[in-house]
Amino acid sequence: MRVIIAAAGTAGHINPGLAIANKIKKEEKNSEIIFIGTTRGLENDLVPRAGYKLKTIDAYGLSKELSIENFKKMYKTLKGFWEAKKIIKEFKPDIVIGTGGYICGATITAAHSLKIPTLLHESNAFPGKAVKMLASKANTILVSFEDAVPRIKNCKNVVFTGTPVKIKKQSYTQEEKNRIIYGVDLDINKPIVLIFGGSQGAKRINDTVIEIIKNKLNKNYQMVWATGPKQFDSIKGELENIGLNIDNIPNMKILPYIYNMEELMNVVDVIVARSGAMTITEISNLGKPSILVPLPNVSHNHQLYNAKALENIGAAKIILNDEINGEKLNKAIEEIVLDKDKMKKMGENASKISTTDAEDKIYNEIKKLVK
């Protein structure tokens, strides 16, 4: 099978594309796969690191604003369409796949014009502009949330598959769990809350955790907190200013980045995080209770819709970004960790929307289009 995957910008767009590529390679070892991206996004690191070739084109997100800058972007995006068309003609793919973001506009449109089968994957509960705009040009659109199906019009085939993710539920022995917990210098007999804000951290969440530390609110639970590499040093300095050593705070392990995220997500009791599509999928697949702080000011407020997919079934509590503070987050954590029945029920509810076979479902849809 010869495949082109369009993925650009954020890890939320690129990682599903890589997971799809890996699944195709697993099933059909002789497949040839290339990616189309831009020169500006994370694809320039993640795609080559995963062992795939990346071709770049010009593509930008467009607004309705009448400005010289927007006209420049429109011109470059139109140029990107012709660049994508050239790549497709040269590579001769059996299918072109888009995993969201502005890169899909030029690439999927070019493939459609050449009568190449096209498939889109939408990770969010509220579909983005690119997917809605391209619905009539795609042969199939795959979605991660069942709520997204009725929100996509003009596409003949919309299929719920879930999002392919790296983090899976693991069955660790008690000895293995102890090793993971001792590895972050915490107590195996006290509830553990994992807090992170994506690979770069989230300042509002970080500021809230600092409030909890300053007021010594986390007496009944422990925290593993990933600050994000760029914010770690400033947080270390802020804690030093109030006489605290970042490596020696009771009930707390503070890290710039968590490299064994799969292990920790499997053994902690509660997760506090943003509500990107991949995070929601991982939480549901692991069957973990969560407190979600949707990132504001994103297209269609899609992180809020993602979070509601868990809140609506009693698996999560949402705290809005402009409403979160130390006292409110601490109260939400304690309401879960101090009530074992509630904690267990929330985890069970999260599992109800788990999609552990997303890769298989996606591969089956690809095979239907590739005759």
Q: What is the mean pLDDT of the chain?
A: 91
Considering the chain, what percentage of its residues have pLDDT values greater than 90?
71
CATH number listed for the domain at residues 174-351 = 3.40.50.2000
pLDDT higher than 80, residue 79:
no
- Read off the pLDDT band of 201 (50, 70, 90): low
- Residue 2, pLDDT score: 98
Q: How far apart are alpha carbons 98 and 121 in whole angstroms? A: 6
50 phi/psi in degrees, rounded to 5? -85, -5
Q: pLDDT band at residue 208, thresholds of 50, 70 and 90?
A: very high
Angle in degrees, 0-180, between the axes of helices 277-286 and 11-27, rounded to the nearest 10: 60
Evaluate whether 2-163+356-369 and 174-351 have a shared fold: yes
Residue 160: pLDDT above 80? yes
Per residue in 355-366, pLDDT tens? Answer: 889 999 999 999
Q: What phi and psi values does residue 113 have, to the nearest 5 degrees?
A: -65, -25
CATH architecture of structural domain 2-163+356-369: 3-Layer(aba) Sandwich (3.40)
pLDDT at 51: 95
Across the range 205-229, mean pLDDT stands at 96
Q: Using alpha carbons, select from 262, 177, 271, 189 the residue that is nearest to residue 224.
A: 271
- Would you place residue 70 in the very low, low, confident or very high pLDDT band (cuts 50, 70, 90)? low
**Higher-pLDDT residue of 175, 80:** 175
The pLDDT value given to residue 100: 75
Please write the tens of the pLDDT for every residue from 226-252: 998 889 999 999 999 999 999 999 999
Angstrom distance (rounded) from CA 278 to CA 84: 27
Q: What is the pLDDT of residues 117-151, one digit of tens each?
A: 999 999 888 887 778 888 999 999 999 888 888 88
Of the listed ranges 65-74, 221-230, 235-244, the least confidently predicted one is 65-74
Residue 73 pLDDT: 57
Task: Give the count of beta carbons closer than 10 Å to the beta carbon of residue 213.
Answer: 23
Q: Quote the DSSP letter at residue 156.
A: S
Q: Give residue 179's pLDDT band: very low, low, confident or very high (50, 70, 90).
A: very high
Cα 19 from Cα 161, distance rounded (Å):
13
- Kindly give, in sequence order, each residue whose CB lies less than 8 Å from that of residue 14, ignoring residues fewer than 6 positions away: 7, 8, 37, 41, 42, 43, 46, 47, 99
Q: How far is CA 104 from the centre of its chain?
A: 18
Binning pLDDT at 50, 70 and 90, where does residue 153 land?
confident
Under 8 Å between Cβ of 51 and 22: no
pLDDT of residue 133: 84
Is pLDDT of 157 > 80? yes
CA distance 195 to 271: 6
SS (H, E, C) 275-319: CCHHHHHHHHHHCCCEEECCCCCCHHHHHHHHHHHHHCCCCEEEC
At 343, give phi and psi (nearest 5°).
-60, -45
Q: What's the pLDDT at 244?
A: 96
Q: Where are the domains of the chain?
A: 2-163+356-369, 174-351
Q: Give the pLDDT of residue 68.
A: 63
Q: 108 pLDDT band (50/70/90 cuts)?
A: very high
Name the amino acid, one letter, at 202. A
Give residue-wise pLDDT tens across range 238-288. Answer: 999 999 999 999 999 999 989 899 999 999 999 999 998 889 999 999 999
pLDDT per residue over 89-105, tens digit each? 999 999 999 997 778 88
